[in-house]
């Protein structure tokens, strides 16, 4: 019965006509209902207004509207999740310790009003809110947090073996793979006759002659390369992970030293000439205490997120939830 009342209440708030009577129009929009709790646009804007104000200074127009709607949906989802946790908190007949609640309120007042309760209540009054309203909201947030700590915290366990296994399988995150700094000249393969093919061979011959005469690879790339972007930089492609290079490039530079130039590399789109400008060998990482801590914290966070999602999924099945976004 309670759920039917909630649904009826939402329809009324949303301005849906009832029994052929005059349509009721409400300014506030309902975003979600969890059991008897209705989450409205006003509730969400109370949490997003500062972020929306900052957004208005960064973007405008349709992009601003898109970002605002995205922000409000994120906050609405979080509010639904918190309310679900609060419903479970009440179901288990748990209590938020008074001193814990008051300490959190003190922190909020200190952050928002320099510790002045009078100033804080004046700020709340301008939004048609009271200190009791804030106390109730903070109580729900703390209840949600305490429930998560109780139901999830004890389940999250990361062993030293888990840390070592992650480190071994994600070594690239901590060390540095072999890198190579390449220069490139690209000659486009002209479609059509043998005459064009001869032209390509002639350009290769000219470039090789200039290289033998001591003309720099950089200058030749500027004059000959058909890749305009790299030609402007004298063919410089910068540092590349060796394993990220295309297979034909890896094979061509294999065994070459700093300053060496490859033989022409034939591809469907044309011919490449590469110069090994510099090389760096792979730097193997070390599993330091600092890294162990970072990995453990990362794995614990990942596991908490997984357990939290599982908890919310269970609570959605247990309690009435309706979302309108």
Query: Is residue 307 assigned to a domain?
Result: no
Phi and psi dihedrals of 181, rounded to 5? -100, 115
Residues 109 and 180 in one domain: no
- Are residues 203 and 263 part of one domain? yes
pLDDT of residue 6: 39
Overall average pLDDT of the 169-188 stretch: 86
pLDDT of 127 reads 77
pLDDT in tens, 88-133: 999 999 999 999 999 999 999 999 899 999 999 998 888 788 999 8
Q: Is residue 139, in this structure, part of any structural domain at all?
A: yes
Question: What's the pLDDT tens digit per position in 233-279?
Answer: 999 999 998 888 889 999 999 989 999 999 999 998 889 999 999 99
Predicted pLDDT of residue 162: 95
Residue 180 lies in a domain: yes
Q: How far apart are CA 114 and CA 85, in angstroms?
A: 31
Could you report the per-residue pLDDT of 19-50, keeping only the tens digit for each?
333 333 345 789 999 999 999 998 899 889 88
The pLDDT score that the predictor gives to residue 310 is 95
* Structural domain includes residue 194: yes
Q: Are residues 225 and 275 in the same domain?
A: yes
302 in a structural domain: no
Do the domain assignments include residue 103? yes
Co-location of 193 and 262 in the same domain: yes
**Does residue 25 lie in a domain region?**
no
pLDDT of 197 reads: 53
Phi-psi region of 284 (alpha: psi -120 to 50; beta: other; left: phi over 0): beta
Average pLDDT, the chain: 85
pTM of the model: 0.59
**Same domain, yes or no: 186 and 126:** no
Q: Is residue 196 located within the same domain as residue 240?
A: yes
SS in 3 state form for 83-143? HHHHHHHHHCCCCCCHHHHHHHHHHHHHHHHCCCHHHHHHHHHCCCCCHHHHHHHHHHHHH
Q: What percent of the chain has pLDDT over 70?
A: 89
Assess whether pLDDT exceeds 90 at residue 85: yes
Listed in order, strand segments (DSSP E) in the chain are 30-34, 37-40, 179-188, 236-241, 265-267, 270-280, 321-323
* 3-state SS assignment for residue 272: strand
Are residues 203 and 245 part of one domain? Answer: yes
> Does 145 share its domain with 180?
no
**Between 191 and 234, residue with greater pLDDT:** 234
Q: How many CA atoms lie within 13 A of 33 on its CB side?
A: 19
* Residue of 323, 252, 312, 294 lying closest to 84 (CA atoms): 312
Note whether 183 and 252 are same-domain residues. Answer: yes
φ, ψ of residue 39 to 5 degrees: the values are: -105, 115
Count of structural domains, the chain = 2
Last residue of a domain, one of 247, 264, 280: 280
Q: What is the pLDDT of residue 4?
A: 36
> Do 225 and 260 lie in a common domain?
yes
Write down how long the chain is: 325
Which pLDDT belongs to residue 27? 54
Are 120 and 208 part of one and the same domain? no
Q: Residue 8 pLDDT more than 60? A: no
Asked whether residue 317 is assigned to any structural domain, the reply reads no
Q: What is the pLDDT of residues 269-302, one digit of tens each?
A: 889 999 999 998 877 788 899 999 999 999 999 9
Tell me: pLDDT of 305 over 70.
Answer: yes
The answer for residues whose C-beta is within 8 angstroms of residue 262's C-beta and 6 or more apart is 252, 253, 256, 272, 273, 274, 275
**Span 207-216, average pLDDT:** 90
- Structural domain including 216 reads 176-280
Written as six digits, the tokens of 30 are 């309902």
Question: Domain holding 230: CATH number?
Answer: 3.10.50.40
Specify whether the backbone of 10 is left (phi greater than 0), alpha (psi in -120 to 50) or beta: alpha
**Do both 221 and 263 map to the same domain?**
yes
pLDDT band at 191 (very low <50, low <70, confident <90, very high): low
**Over 90: is that where the pLDDT of 163 sits?**
yes
User: By mean pLDDT, which of 166-170, 183-187, 307-311 is the weakest?
Assistant: 166-170
The contacts of residue 70 (CB under 8 Å, 6+ apart) are none
* pLDDT on residue 54: 93
Q: Which two tokens stand for residue 116?
A: 């002045």
- 51-79: per-residue pLDDT in tens? 999 999 999 999 999 999 999 999 999 99
Six-digit token pair at 283?
């730097």
């Amino acid at each position: 019965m309670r759920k039917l009342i909630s649904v009826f209440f939402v329809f009324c708030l949303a301005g849906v006509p009832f029994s052929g009577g005059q349509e009721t129009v409400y300014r506030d929009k309902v975003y979600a209902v969890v059991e008897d709790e209705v989450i409205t646009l006003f509730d969400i804007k109370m949490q997003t207004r500062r972020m929306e104000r900052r957004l208005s200074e960064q973007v405008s127009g349709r992009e601003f509207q898109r970002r605002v709607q995205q922000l409000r949906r994120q906050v609405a989802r979080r509010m639904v999740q918190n309310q679900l946790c609060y419903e479970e908190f009440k179901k288990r007949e748990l209590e938020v310790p008074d001193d814990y609640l008051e300490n959190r309120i003190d922190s909020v007042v200190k952050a928002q009003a320099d510790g002045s309760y009078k100033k804080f209540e004046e700020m709340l009054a301008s939004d048609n809110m009271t200190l009791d309203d804030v106390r109730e909201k903070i109580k729900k947030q703390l209840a949600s947090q305490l429930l998560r700590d109780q139901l999830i915290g004890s389940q999250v366990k990361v062993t030293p073996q888990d840390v070592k296994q992650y480190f071994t399988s994600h070594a690239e995150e901590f060390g540095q793979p072999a890198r190579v700094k390449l220069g490139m000249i690209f000659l486009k393969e002209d479609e059509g006759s043998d005459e064009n093919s001869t032209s390509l061979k002639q350009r290769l011959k000219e470039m090789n002659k200039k290289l033998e005469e001591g003309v720099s690879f950089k200058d030749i790339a500027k004059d000959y390369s058909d890749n305009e972007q790299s030609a402007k930089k004298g063919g410089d492609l910068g540092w590349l992970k060796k394993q990220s290079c295309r297979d034909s490039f890896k094979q061509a530079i294999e065994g070459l030293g700093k300053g060496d130039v490859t033989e022409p590399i034939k591809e469907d789109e044309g011919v490449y000439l590469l110069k090994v400008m510099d090389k760096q060998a792979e730097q193997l990482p070390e599993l330091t205490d600092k890294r162990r801590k970072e990995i453990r914290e990362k794995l614990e966070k990942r596991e908490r997120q997984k357990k939290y999602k599982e908890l919310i999924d269970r609570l959605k099945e247990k309690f009435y939830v309706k979302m309108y976004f």
